Structure 1
Amino acid sequence: MKVTLLGTGTSQGVPVIGCTCKVCRSVDYRDKRLRVSVHLQVGDKSIIIDSGPDFREQVLRERIKSLDALVFTHEHKDHTAGLDDIRAYNFMQQKDMPLYAEERVLNQLKQEFSYIFSGFKYPGIPQVQLHPVTNEPFEVEGVPFMPIQVMHYKLPVFGYRIGDFSYITDANYISEEEKEKVKGSRVIVLDALRIEKHISHFSLQEAVELLEELQPERAYLTHISHLMGLHREVEQQLPEFIRLGYDGLQIKL
């Protein structure tokens, strides 16, 4: 499996519009963060988790020429807004795009992209197949996925474990039962929004403490805001097995 972090930023991305802080003015490419998303290449299968507003830019940058399915963690716009851009894959691959998500999330997509699901099919609109999932193992085009239910303040959100890789974003609480699904992962990607505590995301210290409990071989932090600080400075404070993620980072398992 090859994992590519397509975006590692929070809902506003980094730099933030109008901000002149040292992170937003940084010339370090690792401080430039598009909205959070990840690409999985598992054998010959190409799968993306979440299609945020930067979806088009991300797949162009990484030259992702085929896409077998989209999987969603939850319904917030920074994870779904780029759905329309799957049209290119519809055209190239001449087939509908499978979408995997909880029923609640699929219903939200139907509202926000109503033209996709209307009775009148305007020429060129995205073509999709909906696959509702629950908190039980399922397969995405033959690739086994294990949902990990976490809490994003009061909103249930899915992380996913795929083989030895676990991906959890937009979380600030994981139950003991759900932690058991993550244990034994060789690589974990986990959200850490900023230094200070936040109502709906893990802080840096909370993420580090959780990863020290779970003890993967390697861990990477994602969904990072400009309030976290400069990439090069924050990394110096982290345990050796934990690194800050950055856009374009590739992880091979």
Structure 2
Amino acid sequence: MAADFELTFLGTGTSIGVPVIGCKCRVCTSEDPRNKRTRSSIHVRAGDFSVLVDSGPDLREQALREDLTKVDAVVYTHSHVDHVVGFDELRAFCWHREDPLPLHATSDCMATLKTMFGWAFSEENVFKGYIRPDPHIIDGPITFGHLTVTPLPVEHAKAETVGFLFETPGAPATAYIPDAKRVPPETIAILKRADILIIDALRSLPHPTHMSTEEALAVIAESGVSRGYLTHLGHENDHHELEASLPHHVRVAYDGLKIRG
């Protein structure tokens, strides 16, 4: 019997989203709903446990669209604005909790969260209904019930950045790396355990801090996964045209797409 596992792409866009403000290119004006991309984030459900990856600026819109009403923990990839600035929307997942909400982040990312949202981490924050975080520094695999979440260190600009490998019995091991320019050998070694790899593929042309389509496909091939998905996509990518150009086992992710175990 398949595991009770579901991964939802809340957002698949780059930091400015698609359509881009003021842009009239053919992708930004496309009527294909798969070309409408909010900022990159996923939600993972394993049994009764609900894990949110990042809290971007579109979190409210994404949660309403997917009827997401329960989050048991948040894990952060890195401290860039498009992955953390929706922090205040986490209030909606704290209203019915008695305990603080566990937040897992690297030391660099946690420091940014505490600087940007100091009121939430203050000892004076005792009011029910506010975000009451329970901070945890990522220093190895995290366990949520039967779900194991292993950090995947990658290189992305100057920010300390990780992806995550989600493993639960009976479901495909699924890796998520939304922001990266280089995946080091030690992370490739962990990816050998994965069945599915979701990875940053900003555009076809090279970029100084993000992978191009070609670079992403190279990592998918090196990891040996049976399925790949491209995410963190800019408006240079038309969904249909990009997917038609890819190997048969690689797909273009889109907002609302679900992977089930």
Q: State the TM-score, normalizing by the size of structure 1.
A: 0.95
Q: How does 1:1-253 map to 2 (within 5 A)?
A: 1-121=5-125, 123=127, 124-134=129-139, 136-140=140-144, 143-163=147-167, 164-227=173-236, 229-253=237-261
**Displacement of 1:93 after TM fit?**
2.9
**Displacement of 1:141 after TM fit?**
5.6
Cα distance in 2 for partners of 1:193, 1:141 equals 34
**Displacement of 1:155 after TM fit?**
2.9
Conserved? CA contact 2:49–2:144, under 8 Å: no
Residue type of the alignment partner of 1:75: S
Conserved? CA contact 1:30–1:247, under 8 Å: yes
Range that drifts further, 154-163 or 112-121: 112-121
Conserved? CA contact 2:79–2:159, under 8 Å: no
Residue type of the alignment partner of 1:133: I
Residue type of the alignment partner of 1:199: P
Residue type of the alignment partner of 1:242: V
Cα distance in 2 for partners of 1:177, 1:110 equals 30
**Displacement of 1:214 after TM fit?**
1.6
Q: State the TM-score, normalizing by the size of structure 2.
A: 0.92
Say if 1:125 and 1:93 are closer, same or farther in 2 by CA, change over 3 A.
Answer: closer
**Displacement of 1:89 after TM fit?**
1.4
**Displacement of 1:122 after TM fit?**
7.4
Residue type of the alignment partner of 1:10: T
**Displacement of 1:156 after TM fit?**
2.9
SS in 1 for 2:61: helix
Conserved? CA contact 2:19–2:28, under 8 Å: yes
The total of aligned residue pairs comes to 251
Conserved? CA contact 1:69–1:141, under 8 Å: no
* Deviation readout 1:25-84 (Å, 9 max, x if unpaired): 011000000000000011110101111000111111111121100000001110011111
Conserved? CA contact 2:108–2:160, under 8 Å: no
Cα distance in 2 for partners of 1:156, 1:21 equals 33
* Deviation readout 1:114-165 (Å, 9 max, x if unpaired): 121234337443111101112x222246631111100003433111111111
Say if 1:212 and 1:67 are closer, same or farther in 2 by CA, change over 3 A.
Answer: same
Structure 1 unmatched runs, 5+: none
Identity of aligned residues (%): 40
Cα distance in 1 for partners of 2:159, 2:133 equals 25
Q: CA RMSD in A?
A: 1.4
Conserved? CA contact 1:52–1:78, under 8 Å: yes
Conserved? CA contact 1:40–1:46, under 8 Å: yes
